[in-house]
Amino acid sequence: MNESKKRSHIQALVIGGSAGAVGALMQLLPGLPGGFPLPVFIVIHLPPDDKGTLAGLLNSQCQMIVQEAEDKEPIRPGVISLAPANYHLLVERDFSFSLSQDDPVFYSRPSIDVLFESAADAYGSALAGVILTGASADGARGLQAVHRAGGRTFVQDPATAEVPTMPQAALAACPQAHVLPLSQLARTLCALALPTELHASLS
């Protein structure tokens, strides 16, 4: 498959992180242009009583719309959707969201694994997954699921991560993942999602 076909094939992006990930997102997401065509789904480990402050913070800094996902909401391209605090976020096969209060995974709800595995089931090889800085192994199994479904996998370079435990665990489970510093991730994701000519005009 040539590179242009790979780019056009990706239909959604999932991102997960924990300790240090808010800062990482503040570097990564503003690099995605307003014309970024993919839906982006994000799980960050948040305190159970968080009231949506992260969505508001990111929305003020990003060219894309940033919001918390809602149960049964249809997925929309070009929108960044965050898992609400204390809820697992899942992608259904009809390309809508569902929220769950099932047991925590690696002591966390929302769980990165839950999001990544459900998104891989829905999108198959049309999914790209990214694991950022964090202090647990949550996300390792999920990134492996993205790879097994034929999707593209990326891990923040542990040497650049505020807490390297999560990217290291992801690489141990999915050694095929591309390892990139944050400074290169946004450009790489744009190259996956946008035709070459449009990507150049938005850069």
Catalytic residues: 18, 45, 138
- Return d(Cα 18, Cα 136) in angstroms, integer: 8
Q: Which of 130, 113, 141, 123 is nearest to 12 (CA)?
A: 123
Q: Which of 101, 154, 134 is nearest to 17 (CA)?
A: 134
- Return d(Cα 107, Cα 53) in angstroms, integer: 22
- Is the separation of the CB atoms in 147 and 33 below 8 Å? no
Q: Which of 56, 61, 70, 79 is nearest to 24 (CA)?
A: 61
